[in-house]
Amino acid sequence: MTLRTRFVFYVAGLTVGSFVLYAGALSWTQREYLIKEQNRANVEESHRWTLLCEQSIFSKDEITLVHYVRELSRSGDVRWASFLSEDGHILMHTDLRLKNTRDVHELRRWSGQMGRFTQMNRAGSDGEPLTVLAGPVSRRGEQFGVALLAFDRRLQTERMRVLLGASLRRFAGATLLCLAIGVGMAFVVARGLVRPLQELTGAVRRLGAGDWKARPAVFRRDEIGQLASAFAEMSRRLARLDELKDEFVATVSHDLRNPLGAITMAARYLVSPPSPLSAETGRQVLGTILISTSRLRNMVDNLLDAAKIKEGPLSSLREAFSVVNVLQELHDLFRAQAEEFGRVFCLRVPEDFPMVIGDEAQTYRILSNLLANAFKFTAAGDRITLSALSTPEGRVAIEVSDSGPGISPEDLSRLFLRFQTAENAGAQVKKKQGTGLGLAIAKALAESQNGTLTVESELHRGTTFRVTLPQWRAS
């Protein structure tokens, strides 16, 4: 069943259910009202008959009573009216033939209740249900008799039933009209709901088929519009992730090709040199192989750690090691690259620098990533500095700073996210963008050692990355 059909059935069911409940409440309320009004009319008629009987006794005038009983005889509600004296004589009756006769049975019924107005439901002589009202006929405390007025209860009940039926029929007609209007409005509203949902469904299918540009043509300000906007944003992000995937594959392929090519060329040079190798030339060739294999290992480690970060925090060792040795090893490793590409590479470490608590291999990887970025995003003649200092908080800070193009504020806010690269940098930097994993992994590695990795940068002025680690203290 479609959403539109269910919505229409829901509205129709709600309307019919409301009609049934309201019709029941209305019928009960109207019935109670009609019964109350009928009883009031009966009592008023009984009082009028009683008053006429009193007036006829003291005025000695029966003509008024005769006219009145004839009028009552023509009334559909009144079956009979009677004026009964204290000794049981019928002084007046709608059936004038019964006048001046004696009705002992009626006298016995009302003998104990002649002093007050009384109502009694009973069957008539023909078995018809009657409502009989009795009013005392007296003057100045002297009792003369009782005025009886019998109403046809079946006729009054039937009249109420007819009135209730007519009222319900009118209400049912109004309900059917409301139902028709409600169903029509339900169709209109359901159509307004279903159309954008169908548009969203089509966009989802196009997106599932690989169309990353799929956008639902829904322009609303309600919840469906918010859903469409969220879907459009999701589609844009998926398109961006697809672009990042392609860029990542291309970058990894390129970054793998370069060190592999360098290793291949160096190996061929060693196998078949054009001339006898000197010791210095051999060291340079082996240095090239060492740097290239280090880059390859760093890339593989980054890919493995990227998968580990998704599963949870990285683990690390907790042992004391010398930062000076790590920095010196990195300086020796990258010095040849600095000379080859014309960078000014400096190492600044104070004498008697304290040891730190952490994982030496992970710290080496962090700084290696930072230095690789510094060499990648600087030009010939730029300065790269690797330095270390102690902080007032009792920690060790290691800084990698450069005088390169810097990073824009927009890129700084997402610099440590996976697969994120600088989008607002210059053309020279964009051509050298990497996988976007190095900084995210470096930050995770620093935090796994109870350390931090922060960055300060100004566009066109340079960048400084700072790694802080706990300082070792002998117990």
Print the SS3 string covering 58-103.
HHCCCHHHHHHHHHHHHCCCEEEEEEEECCCEEEEECCHHHCCCEC
> 313-470 — its CATH code?
3.30.565.10
Specify the fold of 3-159: Beta-Lactamase (3.30.450)
> Any bridge partners for residue 82, and if so which?
93, 148
Cα–Cα distance list, 115 to 40, 61, 199, 441 (Å): 20, 23, 84, 107
Dihedral of alpha carbons 396, 303, 385, 332, sign: positive
> Any bridge partners for residue 455, and if so which?
465
- Burial class of residue 187, CB neighbours in 10 A (0-12, 13-18, 19+): middle
Asked if the domains 3-159 and 313-470 are classified in one and the same CATH topology, the answer is no
> Any bridge partners for residue 462, and if so which?
458
Sequence-separated contacts (24+) of 258-266 with Cβ below 8 Å:
258/292, 258/295, 259/291, 259/292, 259/293, 259/295, 259/296, 260/292, 260/296, 262/288, 262/289, 262/291, 262/292, 263/288, 263/289, 263/292, 263/293, 266/292
Q: What is the number of other CB atoms lying within 10 angstroms of the CB of residue 185?
A: 12
Rounded to whole angstroms, the Cα distance separating 311 from 305 reads 10
Task: Indicate the DSSP class of residue 472.
Answer: P
**What pLDDT score was predicted for residue 475?**
60
- Note whether 81 and 72 are within 8 A (CB): yes
Instruction: Look at residue 431 and give its three-state secondary structure.
Output: coil
Residue 198, phi then psi, degrees to nearest 5: -65, -40
Q: How big is the CA angle at 118 (ends 35 and 82), to the nearest 5 degrees?
A: 100
**What pLDDT score was predicted for residue 65?**
84
What are the residues whose beta carbons fall under 8 Å from the beta carbon of 306, sequence distance 6 or more? 418, 437, 440, 441
The beta strand positions in 257-318, using DSSP E, are none
Tokens of 3: 């959403």
Rounded to whole angstroms, the Cα distance separating 363 from 388 reads 13
- Note whether 337 and 384 are within 8 A (CB): no
The domain segmentation of the chain, as residue ranges, is 3-159, 313-470
Cα–Cα distance list, 155 to 34, 73, 133, 368 (Å): 13, 15, 16, 107
Beta-sheet pairing, 462-470 with 356-358: unpaired
Instruction: Look at residue 136 and give its three-state secondary structure.
Output: strand
**What pLDDT score was predicted for residue 344?**
94
Rounded to whole angstroms, the Cα distance separating 130 from 146 reads 18
Beta-sheet pairing, 344-348 with 383-390: parallel
Amino acid at 390: S
- Note whether 227 and 200 are within 8 A (CB): yes
Residues of the chain predicted below pLDDT 50: 424-432
Rounded to whole angstroms, the Cα distance separating 78 from 10 reads 51
